[in-house]
Amino acid sequence: MVFRKPPDGGWGWVIVVVSFFTQFLCYGSPLAVGVLYLEWLDAFGEGKGKTAWVGSLANGIGLLASPVCSICVSSFGARPVAIFSGFMVAGGLMMSSFAPNIYFLYISYGIVVGLGCGLLYTATVTITCHYFDKRRGLALGLISTGSSVGLFIYAALQRELIDLYGLDGCLLIVGALSLNILACGSLMRPLESSDSPPPEKACVEKVPDQYFVYHEKEKNVEENISILEKGYVDEKCANNMPDYKQDSILNKNVLSSINVNEKDTYKKKVVEQTNFCKQLAKRKWQLYLNYWEETMVLFKNKVFSALFVAILLFDIGGFPPSLLMEDVARSANINEEDYHMPLISIIGIMTAVGKLTLGILADFKWVNTLYLYVTTLLMTGVALFAIPFAKSYLTLAMLSGILGFLTGNWSIFPYVTTKTVGIEKLTHAYGILMFFAGLGNSLGPPIVGWFYDWTQEYDTAFYFSGFCVLLGGFLLLLAALPCWNACTNQSSKLPPNTYSYKVASSA
């Protein structure tokens, strides 16, 4: 399907607003799960690594299922997926209020809420990219700030709701707020394709030929019945046999003829329906093979191959602070009276600033988005190495702000992906990359929690996190540089709709 040229405005700004609030409502609680994490530690008495699985699943399972989410959005559209996912997020949060143990939370909060968030994220990013081209960086930056603003507000909101209504009441209220996603999803009007036929004509053309065959055969049966009835009347007039004898003989002939025709028609219908199902299965299998062939083509792109390694290592090391920073402060014996603002809220508001700032920078022609993304990875690794040396609220707050700002590189990640593979392959490629991001989100917090359970301190855990992020940044830089230098010679050999970064940076 070839989409109409992105309007870069108009209804696209409505899409930006509703996508912002969609991410605000769905990601507010999962990203601010650090507040709930402390309550679950006290309520269930499990280890830090085991309890951290709840938040890591909520933030990772949706990304792990990104290929499935991408297929859903491609098949059904952003609007139906968004509405359905709104029910999932709200229902999962409400069910979590009745959790009897940590294992129930793995399902209700981790899987149900996490999968709903993944579907909503894919829907909002995809439809925004369809509506914007020249201003795509700004649009993606704006919608991605929704989750960050949600983190900032929900961190304080959930803490206040817990004080007033308890943990269960907090989850019920937050779940009710998530129902507003349904209203946002209803406004996600799809961008029509440029070559779409009229609806009536399309419906007629899509009807399989065998259904017309069935209709013709049914008409033949009716014609046979009418002929037999006509013969019955003529014969009755010609003969002087009693009426009841003529009726019984002719009725038997009519019924036997009808039964024979119906059996033959039924058998032919079964055969034709079986052939139709076989052809449909072959078609679906061919689509499945095409999907994997396209995936292999994507991985032949060096930049794309490096991106999936970098995003995996980045999320293993970079995600745990947003979940565990409150517990880091408590483990460092920082007095709660020194708290001027929750550390998670600082991460949230600075992430919003970072997403918006980096999104605006990505729209400048002189900015190379790949180098910008690599820079954020390297700086994040250095900041993670500094966490073990922070022993006061002020230093932890400063590091939280720095990490939050650098985590805003999520806003330029779809931009980098689009310029790498093209808008036509965005859904496919982005789903693959988000799968590895979800794997990192799911593994990162439990690994850090296990390090704490093993060593009874967070220092070793954050050294490990910093090393992972730095490694991913250096690998991406090394993999991209040869591709960058050779892109002028290889640009003619690239597949259609695939862009090298030299072209992308000046596009």
Cα distance between residue 467 and residue 314, in whole Å: 10
Distance of CA 47 to the CA centre of its chain: 30
pLDDT value for 201: 40
Q: Residue 13: count other Cβ atoms within 10 Å of its Cβ.
A: 16
Cα distance between residue 313 and residue 8, in whole Å: 34
Cα distance between residue 15 and residue 128, in whole Å: 7
pLDDT value for 112: 94
The answer to whether 475 touches 370, Cβ cutoff 8 Å, is no
* Three-class secondary structure of residue 75 per DSSP: helix
Cα distance between residue 31 and residue 281, in whole Å: 41
Do you know the residue count of the chain? Answer: 507
Strands (E), 35-120: none
Residues of the chain with pLDDT under 50: 1-2, 196-214, 216-218, 221-222, 224-225, 227-233, 235-241, 244, 483, 485, 487-507
Radius of gyration of the chain measured on its C-alpha atoms: 30
Q: CATH number of the domain at 301-484, please?
A: 1.20.1250.20
pLDDT value for 37: 87
Cα distance between residue 36 and residue 318, in whole Å: 20
* Three-class secondary structure of residue 47 per DSSP: coil
- pLDDT per position as a tens digit, 408-455: 887 788 777 877 777 777 767 777 787 788 788 888 888 888 888 888
pLDDT value for 434: 76
pLDDT value for 490: 47
- The amino acid that residue 449 corresponds to is G
φ, ψ dihedrals at 473, nearest 5° = -65, -45
Strands (E), 102-221: none
- The amino acid that residue 498 corresponds to is T
Q: Residue 243: count other Cβ atoms within 10 Å of its Cβ.
A: 8
Give the list of residues 6+ apart from residue 286 with CB closer than 8 angstroms, or none. Answer: none
pLDDT value for 456: 82
Q: Please indicate whether the domains covering 7-193 and 301-484 agree at the CATH topology level.
A: yes
Distance of CA 369 to the CA centre of its chain: 23
According to DSSP, the residues that pair with 193 across neighbouring strands are: 3
Q: Kindly give the residue spans of alpha helices, DSSP state H, lying in 408-458.
A: 413-421, 426-455
Q: Kindly give the residue spans of alpha helices, DSSP state H, lying in 363-425.
A: 369-386, 393-407, 413-421
Where are the domains positioned within the chain?
7-193, 301-484
Q: Which CATH number fits domain 7-193: 3.30.9.10, 1.20.1250.20, 3.30.43.10, 2.30.42.10?
A: 1.20.1250.20
pLDDT value for 178: 93
pLDDT value for 379: 94
Find the farthest-apart pair of alpha carbons in the chain and give their distance in angstroms, rounded. 116
Can you give the pTM of this predicted structure? Answer: 0.65
According to DSSP, the residues that pair with 3 across neighbouring strands are: 193
* Three-class secondary structure of residue 227 per DSSP: helix
